[in-house]
Amino acid sequence: MPHVRVTRNLQRHVTCPPQDVAGDTVRAALDAYFELAPDARGYVLDEHGGLRKHMAVFVNGTLIGDRSTLSDPIDERDTIDIMQALSGG
Amino acid sequence: MADQLLVATRKGLFTVSRRSGGWAVDDVAFLGDNCPIVMHDPRDDALYAGLSHGHFGNKMHRSDDGCTTWTEISTPAFPEMPEGYEPPVNPMTGKVIPWKLKLLWALEPGGADNVGRLWAGTIPGGLFRSDDRGETWTLNRPLWDDPRRNEWFGGGYDEPGIHSIAVDPRDADHVVVGVSCGGVWITQDAGASWTLGGKDMRAEYMPPERAFDPTIQDPHLIATCADHPDVMWVQHHNGLFRSSDAGVSWTELACETPSSFGFAVSAHPHDPNTAWFVPAVKDELRYPTDGKLVVTRTRDAGASFEVLTEGLPQDHAYDLVYRHAMDIDETGDTLAFGSTTGNLWLTSDGGDHWASISSHLPPIYAVRFIKRG
C-alpha cells in the first residue's frame, strides 16, 4: 500500500501520523489518508480540493504534476510526502 | 471600564491586562503563528481568532474560557463555482477574482438578539454569515453575485476585501459593510438585498470623472458611534469622512495637519462628534509625518482636529497603525493602538496622555478590548 508521510510542521497543528493507505492516484491515496486524519485535510488542500499554493506533494521524491485534481498515478510501493514549499513562510 | 485587551500580531495573540501598576502583557496564545484578526463577543463572552498560516491556509479558533484553551472551528470557505458562472475580472489586473479564501479580514457579532450569529469579511470580497458560533458559514450570495462587484479592485492587497462590518444595535438586520476598494454597502434585511452607499466619497486615485463613483471608493475602515449608530466615521485612502445617515452619504472632513492618510479610526461610543485617527504621510509614504507619531482627535464632528502627542514618540518614529489596530472601550476614555513595529500604546483620558505598554511585540494587526455587554 502507498505510504503517506506528513511534514512535522503540520503535526504541530493537527494529528497526522504516517499511514499506509489504499489508492492508485495521489487523489485516492490522500482521500484515504484524510479519512484517517480528517483534521489535516483543510491544512493541505483548499476548499475546492486542490493543493494549497504553498504546499508540495512528492511521490518517491518527485513533485507531482497535477496540483488541482491530484491525478498523478501511484504504485502500491510508492511513498507520498506532504511537505511545505519553501515559499509561503 | 475594560481591563483586558487582545492584541493580534504576526507571531501570536497576546493578552494585555490592567494591573495595580498599569497595563502589562501577561499571556500569549498561538505563539509563532500569524494572527490577523481577533474578536470578543460580548453576548456570550466567547473569543474568536483568525489565523493565517503561510502554508496551511486560514483557520478559525474559538475560546470559551477567556483565552485559556482554544478549539478550531470552521473557517469561511467559498462554495464550488456554479457551472457556467463567469467570475468577475479584477479591473486593475485583468485577472479573475479567485473563489478561494485568501484572508479572513473582519469579524463581528451579529446583534444582541441573534446570539450565535457572526459576520465575517474576507479577501477576496466575500461576506459570510454564521448562525451557530462559527461552526458553519454561508457565503452571502446577493452581495457576491451583485454585478456591481465587477467594479471592485484591490487596494494594498491584489484582490478587493471586506474589512468593516457594522451591525446596527437597534436592528441587527441592518448591516453596513466597507470594501477596499468597493465602497460602502448597506443591507436592511440581513443580507437578502444590498444598496450602495458612499455618496459623496471622493477618490483621488481615479480619473476625475470617476472620483465620486461609489463602487470604487477605498474606505480603509468604518467606525460607528455605538449610541448614535447613524453616525459613522471613515478613514479613507485619501481623506476623512463622516456620515450621519448610516453610510448612505458622507461629508469629507478637512484635516491636513499632519495629514489625512491613515488606516485606523475609532468612534466615541457615546459622543457622536468625537473620533480619533492615526495619520501617516500618504499612501506611498506610510510612516508618521516628520517621524513624529501623533493621534488626531475631533470633538466637533470634524470641524476641527487636535493633534495629540503626549507620551508618543516625536523623534524618528516610523510606526504605521493598521486599520484594525486601534480600539476604544465602552467608556470612551480608554483607547489602545499598536503598530507595525510592535509598539503598543494606551490612554485612559481620551488621548490626552498615552503610555507605552510594550515596545517589542511582533507587528500588530488588531487590537480589541474585552467589553462587557
B57 contacts in A (CB within 8 Å)? 42-43, 46, 52
Mean pLDDT for B190-213 is: 96
Supply B27's cell numbers: 499571556
Report the residue count for chain A: 89
Mean pLDDT for B202-216 is: 94
Task: Single out the residue of B110, B121, B147 nearest to residue B37, CA to CA.
Answer: B121
pTM here is 0.94
Query: Residue B298: pLDDT band by 50, 70, 90 thresholds?
Result: very high
Q: What is the DSSP letter of B64?
A: S
Is B59–A47 a contact, with Cβ atoms under 8 angstroms apart?
no
Looking at per-residue pLDDT, the higher value among B215 and B282 belongs to B215
Interface probe with B: pick from A11, A39, A52, A87, most Cβ of B within 10 Å = A52
Is A88–B55 a contact, with Cβ atoms under 8 angstroms apart?
yes
B99 contacts in A (CB within 8 Å)? 48
Instruction: Please give the share of chain B, as a percent, with pLDDT higher than 90.
Output: 89
Q: How far is CA B322 from CA B134, B223, B327, in A?
A: 25, 14, 11
* pLDDT tens digits along B299-344: 999 999 999 999 999 999 999 999 999 999 999 999 999 999 999 9
Residue-wise burial string across B182-199, b where 16 or more C-beta atoms lie within 10 A, e elsewhere: bbbbbbeebbeebebbbb
Residue-wise burial string across B48-77, b where 16 or more C-beta atoms lie within 10 A, e elsewhere: bbbbbbebbbbbbbbbeeebeebeebbbbb
* pLDDT tens digits along B128-175: 999 999 999 999 999 999 999 999 999 888 899 999 999 999 999 999
pLDDT surpassing 80 at residue B372? no
pLDDT surpassing 70 at residue B121? yes
Task: Single out the residue of B110, B120, B116 nearest to residue B135, CA to CA.
Answer: B116
The pLDDT assigned to B373 comes to 59
Supply B76's cell numbers: 469561511
The pLDDT assigned to B158 comes to 87
Is A46–B100 a contact, with Cβ atoms under 8 angstroms apart?
yes
The pLDDT assigned to B2 comes to 86
ipTM of the complex: 0.86
B61 contacts in A (CB within 8 Å)? none
Mean pLDDT for B268-287 is: 95
The pLDDT assigned to B155 comes to 85
Please give the mean pLDDT across all residues of chain B: 95
Q: Does A8 touch chain B (CB under 8 A)?
A: no
The pLDDT assigned to B353 comes to 98
Query: Residue A89: pLDDT band by 50, 70, 90 thresholds?
Result: low
Residue A18 preceded by cis peptide, ω within 30? no
Residue B181 preceded by cis peptide, ω within 30? yes
CB B88 within 8 A of CB B145: no
Q: How far is CA B214 from CA B16, B153, B182, B220, in A?
A: 39, 13, 7, 14
Residue A25, helix vs strand vs coil: strand
Flag the least confident range among A57-71, B41-55, B83-97, B105-119.
Answer: B83-97
DSSP class per residue in B328-373: E-TTSS-EEEE-TTS-EEEESSTTSS-EEEES-PSPEEEEEE----
Q: Does A46 touch chain B (CB under 8 A)?
A: yes
> Least CB-CB distance to A13: which of B56, B78, B101?
B56
Rounded-to-integer distance, Cα B351 and Cα B309, Å: 9
Mean pLDDT for B244-255 is: 97
The span from the first CA to the last CA of chain B, in angstroms, equals 11
Rounded-to-integer distance, Cα B274 and Cα B118, Å: 28
Mean pLDDT for B286-303 is: 96
* pLDDT tens digits along A20-79: 999 999 999 999 999 999 999 999 999 999 999 999 999 999 999 999 999 999 999 999
The pLDDT assigned to B127 comes to 98
